[in-house]
Amino acid sequence: MEQIAFVFSGQGAQYSGMGKELYECSAAARAVFDTADRIRRGTSEQCFTASKEELSVTINTQPCLYCVDLAAARALEERGVHPATAAGFSLGEIAALTFTGALDDETGFSLVCERAKYMQAAAEKTDGGMAAVLKLKNEEVEALCAPFEHVYPVNYNSPGQLVVAGEKEELAEFSAAAAQKGGRVVPLAVSGGFHSPFMDEAAQQLSRYLQAIPFEKPRIPLYANATAKPYPADGRSLAAEQVNHPVLWQDTVEQMLSDGIEIFIEVGAGKTLSGLVKKISRMATVLHVEDKKSLQETLAALQK
């Protein structure tokens, strides 16, 4: 049987109504939202009815996307689909930690709420933003970042796509320099400069929080953003470090492919990771689950 990986989507993929069909068609998915509502009242209603603007505020984005990610994975598991490995992009790594048993459901959701709070507070202290740079090599983007004091390469997404974080005024200057080199710069709909030194305080707060909660070794290999390698038995430090360190997504997918993964199923809102995996490997089979239709289509594809 072909080896399957679940990949959990990250921030930026949010949209109004996400998760509602999963809630309605899967008892396992519904349980995820019910747990969230017990801890943070109104989370499911926010997923299902809030505007994109409300959902794009970090303290709302992260708990809501976490629920949709985990609900999609649980809906697949409920129907007999069990991955050999997993990975999550940024926020998605917290949902992946819960799915793989490193955290229980209540602890995982409480953690994502704390993470969102710390990251929003850190973001509000600086005028930061993020942008995807297309059509340039990683080395070229890194060289363009070097002259700026507060512009950093942060998300190594796929060949020809590297996201940078920076102070907005410097980011505008960087964008002009990148365009002159032939790059295309696309601003991201996020509220801060994540995965950069702007998040150092948030990472420190998260590290302290993680030390006080139970944390188990994932039951299947879970590839960490910060290393592109599976989590160790105690991965608390990695879970904190991913907040202020680059996301090595391309390296992660390439390592999973090298380890025998043939099918990638993106679980959660949108198809951003599906697109990235396709750019990294033309040989991989890429599926996704975010609603009833995509769940049915993925199950049908797996039975062929």
Which of the residues are catalytic? Answer: 90, 195
Please work out, in degrees rounded to the nearest 5, the angle formed at the alpha carbon of residue 92 by the alpha carbons of 203 and 7: 140
215 to 92, 183, 232, 239, 293: CA distances (angstroms): 17, 42, 11, 10, 34
Task: Write out the two tokens for 101.
Answer: 């048993």
User: Using CB atoms within 10 A of its CB, is residue 211 exposed (0-12), middle (13-18) or buried (19+)?
Assistant: exposed
Q: Rounded to whole angstroms, how far apart are CA atoms 203 and 201?
A: 5
Beta strand 261-267 with 3-8: parallel, antiparallel or unpaired? parallel
Taking alpha carbons only, the member of 140, 122, 141 closest to residue 131 is 141
Helix axes 272-280, 249-258, angle to 10 degrees: 60
> Are the CB atoms for 185 and 132 separated by under 8 Å?
yes
At residue 153, the 3 state secondary structure works out as strand
